[in-house]
Homo-oligomer: A and B are copies of this chain.
């Protein structure tokens, strides 16, 4: 089954207030409609990765929301997560696919047209399942983010695009519709959900925007 990229939550340890806050945020967001949750914690030691990933799996699996692990294939293998997301400086996707086997999701961040075109070939070869496209807006939550993509470049990517793609980078409530209209399959958010006083309402608001942009209200 293809991954549903509609509303893709990337957890941030600082904004969520640590592991317990990340698990609580994920649970609430998943119960209110996020379609994917990614654990990303570049500064953590692996023990904390493992324990938090186990807790996230326990709350997400009953809700049928896939858990994606950022970067660390070993953590994904250890907790039998649903997939791994890597950037251009992480393990090559072919290596990630080989280690994970055929039944897990592999996602790849693309930050320019050349990377996106390369990713299309990887998708056709069955190596990856989707790409992240961004940053589409300036972001404060990723320290080593690439320059913001021009709207024209995103438009060029989306022409005749068959590769499932989720927009990422600085996406807040009110900024969703144009991305869906451009042809993105969904939006990945961090601070639009993490750290919000009402995670359920934030999630529902983003979902409503996505559905409205798609021309339906389901």
Contact = CB atoms under 8 A, between A and B. Distances in A.
A50 B99 contact: no
Contact of A46 (B47, B50, B75, B90): B90
Nearest to A49: B91
A91 to B, nearest CB: 5
Interface residues of A, number: 22
Contacts of A90: 45-47
A95 B78 contact: yes
Interface string A66-85: 00000111110110000000
Interface in A31-56: 45-48, 50
Given A90-B45, A90-B47, A92-B47, A99 B78 contact: yes
A146 to B, nearest CB: 14
Contact of A89 (B45, B73, B75): B45
A91 B71 contact: no
Among A46, A47, A89, the most chain B Cβ lie within 10 Å of the Cβ of A46
A47 B89 contact: yes
Contact of A72 (B50, B74, B95): B74
Interface of A: 45-48, 50, 71-75, 77-78, 86-92, 95, 98-99
Complex A-B, nearest 9 residue pairs according to Cβ-Cβ distance, in ascending order = A73-B74, A45-B89, A74-B74, A46-B90, A46-B91, A47-B89, A78-B95, A77-B99, A50-B91
